[in-house]
Structure 1
Amino acid sequence: MKNLEIKGFKSFADDTVIHFNEAVTGIVGPNGSGKSNIVDAIRWVLGEQKGRELRLEHMVDVIFNGTKKRKEAPLAQVTLTFENTKNLLPLDYHNISISRLLYRSGESEYRLNNVTCRLKDITSLFLDTGVGSDSYAIIALGMVEDILSNKENARRKMFEQAAGISKYKARKRESINKLKATNEDLARIEDLLFEINNNLVELEKQAKRTKKYFEMRDKYKSTGLLLAHISVQRLKEKIQGLNTQIEAEIIKVQDQEVLLHQSEADHEKFKKSHLDQEKNLGDFQRKVNEILDSIRLTESEIQIKEQKKLLIKNQQEHVLKSSMDAKSKIEVLKQDILLIETEIAKTTLEVDKVNAYSSGLGLEYTEIQSRYDGLKIGVDQYYAQKQQLEKQVFDLEKEIAIQLNQYENFDADTNRNKDELEQRTNEFKSIQQEIDDSNKRIQDIQVVIADISKAEEERQATLVTLRSQIDTQTQKIGEINRRKDAKKNEYELLKSMVEKMEGFPESIRFLNQNWRKDVPVLTDLIYTDEKYRSAIELYLESTLNYYVVHSESEAVHAIRLLFSNAKGKANFFILDKFKNEITEPVVIPGCISAYSLIEVDSIYKPLLNYLLKDVYIQEHDSQLEDVIKFPDEVSVISLSGSIVKQKNTISGGSVGLFEGKKLGRKKHLEKLEQDIKVLESEVLDMDRALTYLKNEQKKFDLINKQQELVAARKQESEYLQRLAQISTKQQHFNELKERIELRIQDNTEKQITLRKNQEEKSIDLSKAKSSYQELINSISQSDQVFDKVSLELSQSAAAFNQSKLEVMKWQNTLDNITKDLEYKTRQIDESSRQLDHDLKNLNNQESELVQLDLDLMELKKNLEDRFEFKKNMEADLSSLEQEYYTIRNTISEYEGKIRTAQRNISDIQSMTNSLKDQRSEFNYRIQSSYEKAMIEFNTNIDDFVPDQETEGMEEEQLRDRAMYYKVRLDNYGEINPLALEAYEEMKTRFDKIQEQRLDIQTAQVSLLETIKEIEETATANFLMAFNQVRVHFQDVFRSLFTSDDDCDLILLDENDPLECDIDIVAKPKGKRPKSIHQLSGGEKTLTAIALLFSLYLLKPAPFCIFDEVDAPLDDINIEKFNTIIRKFSSDSQFIIITHNKLTMAEVDVLYGVYMEQQGISNVAAVDFRKYEHDVVLSGMEN
């Protein structure tokens, strides 16, 4: 330590610098001058945070508070500078200064070499260096008693600092706290994973259902768009053909016009006089034709706009329906929000209520606390008086006991030493036996650790296997559920088709509703494997809709019913007409008899034998040409049903999507129902198996061997420590034996009388006990009141804490409801945006309708004007023709030719106009297809790209496919469109949390290993340091007393050296106190000094501060004290605050602390090495 700079700290108002350049520095001054404030300044700058240790009520009291003549200081600042010549501090600086500043605002600041830093940086810098605010390097007189009485484990703290294990204990505490936090995090994560997994299973079902719906919707979309694309392409091809025809008709018109012009040229010489009339007539005729063309064009435009108007109205209906749905949803959400807002209001009232209740309890708690504090001050005063009287009684009893017991103790000590020697001898034998037992226990526990480790590995392997089985079982359940859902969907679709009699003619549906329900149709009687269903259905297709009746009268009755209601025709098989003869089929290689493949009731077998006689199905699909090879006497059907060969005919082609679905619907419905029940039973069984696996997993999770393994390893460490301790005991035994023998010889010479002052001490003791009893009575009355207030304070604190928990509970409830409100509000915003979009579209469509109505009105008005104009033009044309025909009597032959040509032209133009109308119709249908695709699929037909699944399908197959998926989608039911996104998000979160759980488990194992390693290292270091300090303590103690004095340091629990108390045995020569508290004040001080210097021998502190530690010592002991300080000053720097003249004479430099002005401390230095020691002493004595 180089120097100390103080400014504004306590009584040091001005800048004060104290230099510590010498080995021993003394600080003296009258009481109240501020000497101890220098020690407080050093403690404070080293990071002391307890005001009690600095003799303060509040930390801000360290700032100079002012006097009558001086203002208070704005801040307190202390700087301590070190010379790092021995490199004890891990910094590459020769001079290191630490500073601490505290402002009146309460803000504080730490600096390292004038650079702002944290308190943690300073404490870390001085860790295990022997320097610190609470280290054994700074000792005050009151701390001597703390060390001897082991107040707040003072001895252990000093030993830990000397052994350098403070950092290990700090790391252990941090590791234990981290382990506790890790266990809590792991428990929370396990709960979270359990909750998420439950939600994940449900979401997965919804996501799979939604995904399947989207897949069917996409297939329906692709099929529908492909159908629209095919239709548009066909219409475009037709338009192309019409364009070709129109061009051909135009060429015909041109040809006819050429003929007309030739005829007019040939007869020009006959018509010169009538050329103007003819020209006018031709012009007039063309105008009439133009009017006719414009009328047809206007009518076409009117038709197109009317169709467009109808389309827009359909779109409006769709938009209105969507708007009504959005409004309904918004209304529902608003009602939900009103309910939530009501709940929020109620919850807010509850929160306010519990807050108010909690505040009231807080005020009540504060009031009781004030009463408690007031009572405590009085109780403390009583107890201070009690302590003084107890000390007086104790001192008297101690002196009497010493005088009474010393004589007896000599004999007792001799006998005790003999017994101890004998006991130690027996103990030595038991130590050897204990060493052998310890080795055996270590071997046994190592076997146990190996067994537990193996069991834990097997448990982990079993858990991995169980988790794998659970995942596999879950996947199987999901697969069976998907199959079950597919069967259910197929069942519902087939049931709907059976109930609605889809695919049957009107006559069959009529008879099914109005005739007998017990008469079956052939298709419902037959059932066969799906593999052969298409083939058999292809062959029996013409008869599948036949009713099967027992007699002709039943058939006639049904026919009459159809006839009377004009419901078409039906066909009937008459069972009575079929013989009960079953012919055995001929064996044909590669084929199977169709009759052998069907399942039918015995009553209908003759009918089916008749229908399927000599009918065979190929066992495997082959080339179509292979069917031709079979003989004409049999009918052969390919396995796929693509071709059937009969005696004189062959039919076949592509297989439709729904082929094979009509045969045996009712039977198939029954089988589907049985399959669904089987699958449900399988799911139930597998759910039970999954539950069993999960229970097994939980059972193995509970059988956690980690803690047992940690306990076993800890026990192994304890056995190893115990073995080391026993070995050390064995080593010390021989030394102890020699010491005991010397004590026995010494005790026989020390028996003297000690009863001279016993009566006087007894009288003083009786008076002190009487005063003590009176005080005890007063304290008893005060304690009753104090205990009552303490109970009230405890109850109030419990109620106050419970109210805080209630506040947190209601606040959490309010937060959850508020989040729900935000979610509903977002849904309203989304629906409102959709509603605004629909209304905008509706307004645009309404505007378009208005414009169409205006256009239609204008077109119709133009059409009426054209009709009127046409009528007038035709009237004028008639008069002109009459005049023209009168003039052309002579040239009628040529005019006949001209009329013929004109008629041809007119017919061709009419034909052309008709073709144009067809082209307009096709264009309108194309436009409608585009708009329908945009409305239904939100896709442009031109942007459609066909998928591989529909590639090569015929248009009829595509229509069947589209109808199939349309029915599936309509009957699919409600889905959750957000399930896929929610499932992926929750699955990602689930996987991430599982990774976190693995990381936490790894950290848990790492922390346990770290704690074990810290305990082993710290224990070894502590035991080594303790044994060394023990030897040093005995040497130093005897140097301060006599070589015959007895002392020792004992661990009270050698099995737990890191936590057990340390006992001090001190028996100066001629005394046998039962405890260290029976020693005199000077002996206690010397004992504490011996302990301190034994620690310095193990780990010298860079500097040592003694604050009036020498006060209880007499002159002889002062000399011993000064001698040992001088001896150790070569390795450590000493700062001694003292009132003793002999101590003052031994220091190198002496600082005097004085108050020139009341309340303000100053210092002055004197170097005593300039004076002779004896002269100084004589001067002091004079």
Structure 2
Amino acid sequence: MFLKRLDIKGFKSFADKTEIALEPGINIIVGPNGCGKSNVVDAVRWVLGEGNVRHLRGHKSEDIIFNGTDKEKGQGMAWVEMTLENSDGLLPVAYHEVTVSRKAFRNGESEFYLNKTRVRMKDIGELFTGTGLGKKGYSIINQGELEQVLNAQPLERRLMLEEAAGIIKYRQQRDEVNRRIEKTGQDLLRLGDIINELEQRRQELQIKAAKAGQYRLWADELGDKERFVYQYEGGRLRRDLAKKQEDFVHRNHEVERYRQEIAEGEENLLQEELNLREVETILNDLKEERRQLEGTLSALTSDHRIAGERLKNNQERIVAASSDAARYAGMLQSLQNDLERQQLDWEGESRGYQARVAEYSELEQELLDLEDKLESERSRFEVQKSDFFTRMQGEAEVKNEILSNAEQLKRLHDKHERLLVRVDEIRNKLSGINLDLDQMQNEKCENEEQLSLCTGERTRLDQEYNNLLGVNRQYEDKLTSLARQAQEIKAQIIHLQEMQRNMVGYSPAARAILTAGQKGGLTGIMGLAGEVIDVPPGMELAVEMAAGRGLENIIVEKSGHAEKAIEHLKKSGAGRVTFLPLDLLKVTDVPEKVLRELAAYPGVRGLASRLIGCEEKYRRAIDYLLGRVLIVDDLPIGITIFKKIAYPFKIVTLEGELINPGGAVSGGSKARADASSPLQRKGEEKKLQKNLGEIQALQAEQQTRLNESRENLRKLEETRESIRKSIMELEYHLQLLCKGIDSNKTNAAAARRDIEENLSEIERIDAEIDSVCQRLQDIEERQQQVEEENQKLAAEMERAREELTARHSELELRRERLTSWQEQLAMKKNELDHYAANIEQFKQVGASYASSHQEACSLQERLEQESKKESDKSQQLEEKIAGHKQKLAEIADKLEEVQAGHLAAQLRLDELRGALHPGRNRIVELEAQTRNLEMAITRSGVELESLQERWRERFHTEWIEEELPTATAAEIREYKARIEYLQMQIEELGPVDLETIKEYEEINERFTFLTGQYQDLTNARDSLHELLQETEKLLIKNFGQFIQLANQSFNQTFQEIFEGGEATLILELNKDRLEAGVDIEVKLPGKKSQLLGLLSGGERALTCIAFVFSLLRLKPAPFCLLDEIDAALDEVNLNRFSRFLRSMAEVMQFIVITHRQGTIEAGSKIHGVTMPEKGISSVFTLDISQTENLAG
């Protein structure tokens, strides 16, 4: 069996229909990240029944449906179809090719199909159970699930092994049985509660009827008292409301009066405020005028000051211009003298410059010789310096070694002290542990004695409980048997009544007439003769044989009714019926003489018409029908009567033999009536009703006994539960004590080991301290020697550095001197150039000085004219300033006068405002009182309305305005106390039900039915327990056999992959045999056994692969789908994986998603998943064998 083909459409990124044809062996799926390779794995998981969308890397169900791209719209359905080759019959279906498909829609609906036939998801799960493809299967490993296999809980590994063993179905069956047992237990619990509740209800109903009379008396008295109190309270509230409304009106009038007085005062206040605002306007205008004059005066003063400054500045400039003219005249004469001296100096300096150029060349040659000597000495110094640094580095290493050993010595001393403290702590702890251990041992002995006593008491109670339980079960079995009998009888009665309602045994014509009469189409129809009679028990067959078809005769009131009925039969074509019109029937009574003769014969029962009961209105029809029918015990008596009595009787026996008046005798086995006989049904129903009454009486008796037994059982169970809890507490306490004792022993042993280990460690540290001290002493001696040598070398280097510095200083001095000569030559050259330039410049400056002298004279004349203008302007400004100061003085006088008037107006305004305050305060006070009265009126109104509403709710009538009842406060208190008493009595009386009898019958019928249901559920639960035990035994047996085979296969596969080592599957101990998980213990080649968490990533991955392959080797799955499980393997482990994969591919099919070259080379067929359009996956297939053939 293998996976032959996978068809995908609309699932995740596979928008278009995609077919992936697979072959036996190794099928490789490759492609870049994000192209949809893992969606192939998700598709397989999904079609196999995966229901959790998170396991498919989604968040909601519609995430698995193609959602569309920028160019392609989304789809409304996802569809995956998987075709399996089943020629070996591994799947339990009669097909060589099995197709499983699944559809999902955006509304959340999902459909499964098996070979195009719709099935349930449960059917798909059961189909693949035990094949390795189930929910706990091991043949599909997704990305990241490799670690989950190793990190899984032991029970999860066990479930994988059960899936491989094909016994997971037994666990599922066990779980299903447990769920059904639990559900049955819950149903039994609910039924028991309901039955107990119904039983209590039956007893309660007997008491409720007696409460009705007392309830009516108290209810009537309560109503009268409440009406009186309500009327009294209503009148009181109306009076109180009227008084408050009167006070409210009075205070409103007083508020209006005060408001009018305040309005007049506010009008005067308003007039004063207007006057004050006019004064304030004049005052503000004067202030504004003063501000403007002050601004103008400030501007004039500023202009006057500026004019004075300008005049002063012009005078200074005139003096400066006169001085400049005289200065430029003197400078022009001095410049002429300097020009002559500059020409003489230039000639002398030119001769000195040539001599200095010769001296500079000699000095430059000396500097070159000195630089060569300095370079030679510097090279020797660098060699010495390098040697010195090497020695200093050695000295630093020695110092570091000293520091390192000193630090190590300090750490050792610290550790030594900590260990000593630790030893003391452990010794103290050990003493405490020993004390606790002694105390726990004593407590354990006391608890064991108590447990022994409780266990003996529990044994005695268990025996008593089992005996009582057996008695209880006998009562329950008897009740169940009686309930079953009652149920069967009720079913028979219902069946007979149903036949009676359907008129079974009567002709179609009779049924048609009766139906028409019931519907009102015919009148006067009184009923069938066989339905209106009451036949004594045992005579049903005799009456039926004697009357024959006469029992179907229809009794009508008058002949006209018979005519209409016959006309109805003709029209409907329903058949023929004999009618008995009471106004036409002629009945002849049997003579009394004949009756007396019959009384002398034994075995004569009497005339049938007299033996049969019926209503008086039917008597004439019954006499007509059976008035001459004589019922006797047997046929011989009938023949005797026929011979002796000369009267035309129709004689019938109790066995149904019939002697006609003419002498004809009929009888035999066919004479007995069949089940459709109406009279037989009536007799049978009476008999069944009698039996049912007897059974119900027995049920009541047995139920009483059962209730007594259950009560005894409940009390005993409470005692047993108390003992059980005590035992559990003692056992739990003992368990805790044992654990505590073991823990203390373990802790004591560990403490002793810790003391020994710490003492050993202290000895080791002491030895190490001695070693470090000796090593430190040797290093310090070596350091002293190195320091002495370095000091000598440092002194030599210092001398060499001083010599080198002196040489360098001399060289720098020569360089500075040479530089100085260069600068002096440059300066001399510049001086010569400067002399030449100065001579030329002197000539230009002379011309400039002459021009400046002329300009200074012109400026002096212009400034004198401007000074005269500024002097005139300053005099004018002084006159304007004096005028503005006079105006400011006048405005200040007016302003003082207006401010005095403003202050007087402000005082008058404050006086008027103060006069208004008392009135306003009184208004506020009155308004507060008014609001309080208004709220009180509202409350009173609400109370009155509430009282009226309570009246309507209580008496269901509208409030009646009546005169206030006359009563004193004491009487009202007595009334209210009586009302409370009556209400309390009625509440204590509880609800009253007058229909208790009918309710009791309904509850009793339901109680009987539920009791039968309870027994049925009990039997079903016992059957489920038996099935559970058988399933668990089978599961334990098969798993025990398979775990041995799986252990061998895992160890063998592990050794083949790792080329050695050991691997073991270990079943957990101290657990339920069905819930014990499986642990993995691994020993890699050349290593000790270690936890899986300590393995490297590649070793963990390869161990997981070995575990999965061992299951596949032991129980091959139809196919195995692996998604990038080789990602964590290095090249060596990858080669091992590929080699083992090839060997396993000989017996089963592999579908591997990978990026690794070594795994790809192992495949026989490659499927490439790409995304030619973003968001849409496509698959291309390459057959490697065909490619190799084409390549030659």
Q: TM-score, normalised by structure 2?
A: 0.36
Higher-Rg structure is: 2
